[in-house]
Amino acid sequence: MERLTGKDLRQLSVFLRELYQLRTHEEFTTHLVAAIPSITEGEFTTYNEFHSNGKEGIVKSYQIPHISNPGHYAGIINRYADQHPFLIYLQRTKDGRARMLSDFLSVREFRQTPLYQEFYKPLQIPYLAVMSLAGNRHTSITISRHRSGREFNEKTRTILNAIRPHLSQAFKNAMAITETHTQFGMMSPAIEEAHTAMLAVAPNGRIKWATPRAYSLIREYCLQNGPGMDWLAPNIREWLMYQQKQLDSPKEVATPVSLLNITHGDRKLSLRLIQNGCQSLLFLEEQRSIIDNKRLYVLGLSKRETEILGWVTEGKTNPEIGTILGISPRTVQKHLERIYGRLGVENRHSAMRVAWDAIRRNGFGSGYD
């Protein structure tokens, strides 16, 4: 592994601070392909998402002045995916660390392949540095840097491997933001009424503001320094300050911004740190245990309807619920329409509110307020 210079580390520090800013999935991928050139050599960047659940893949690129029909080339790369040396290696080893094409083939051998003749040659990019991320159980991601003149140096490999775990975490953050944005509209008045648990905190751990659901979880999990106080507990403040210190350090490559998991009986709460400009946001995500569904039985729904409502309270989308239960998204929607009728509500948001009220009345929350 090539040693990075002080300048490299300072550039990485700036890149990582920007990477963890609050963004939806669309905003994150757009930012990523534009930002990677600031820390790596090469002429342009590509971002590819592949989905095993039948969802359409995503291809994004940056700095390709001589491409007039990117869709054509996306089709070619998909057609030859099973012949791509890196993808063959990835499928065999599950090792997504940064690689160059020269790790697998000589330039001469590579130029004899249809993949080179139809994709890399017309685009004038015979040299490639690529890595892979596991987005989630259905999504795999490849991120590539391309160039024409000469092979990438080892510093590029070192930098790509250094940012790789950060990209995985930032991708998950963006997906969490996207779910919230899709369901409630980011930072809209609905987020105050919804069971979205989010709070803004100062660098010293003081709570600036929080949604009602966040305040409820703060009390239930004893996350405050004391009852009624606007300060996070010491262990939360230490975690927060450590994460921020890591990202602000220009002298070493930061470790990824990790989740903080807190257990309380049969419940688990995950704290996710995301930057919004100079403001730090904490998203609180509670993991529902099997017993939680029993607390929804009082609503008089069928077993299947109860299962679906349970997953809805976790913020799952119809396609995600369909995958979990082995049914189609359309069937999920039909169940939801029946659920709305039985609960006397009109939409997903209102159904979630009824579900959380039932959960509180029947077990958790009441004993900790």
pLDDT, tens digit, 9 for 90 and up, residues 128-143 = 999 999 766 777 899 9
Question: Domain 6-182: which topology?
Answer: Beta-Lactamase (3.30.450)
Query: Using 50, 70 and 90 to split pLDDT, how confident is the model at 286?
Result: confident
Quote the CA–CA distance of 343 and 323 in Å, as a whole number. Answer: 25
* The pLDDT of residue 369: 28
**Sign of torsion, CA 203 204 209 213?**
positive
Contacts of 339 (CB under 8 A, 6+ apart): 301, 305, 308, 309, 351
| Stretch(es) of the chain classified as CATH 3.30.450.80 | 6-182
Quote the CA–CA distance of 359 and 366 in Å, as a whole number. Answer: 10
Contact 118, 80 (CB under 8 A): yes
Report in angstroms the alpha-carbon separations of 169 from 166, 195, 343: 5, 23, 37
Contact 307, 265 (CB under 8 A): no
Query: Using 50, 70 and 90 to split pLDDT, how confident is the model at 146?
Result: very high
* The pLDDT of residue 197: 85
Report in angstroms the alpha-carbon separations of 303 from 293, 294, 298, 300, 335: 9, 10, 11, 9, 11
At residue 295, what are phi and psi to the nearest 5 degrees? -75, -10
| Stretch(es) of the chain classified as CATH 1.10.10.10 | 291-361
CATH 3.30.450.20 is right for the domain spanning 185-287: yes
Least confident of 66-80, 234-248, 307-321: 66-80
Q: Considering the chain, what is the average pLDDT of its residues?
A: 83
Question: Domain 291-361: which topology?
Answer: Arc Repressor Mutant, subunit A (1.10.10)
**Rg, Å, the chain Cα set:** 23
Quote the CA–CA distance of 273 and 121 in Å, as a whole number. Answer: 43
Length of the chain equals: 369
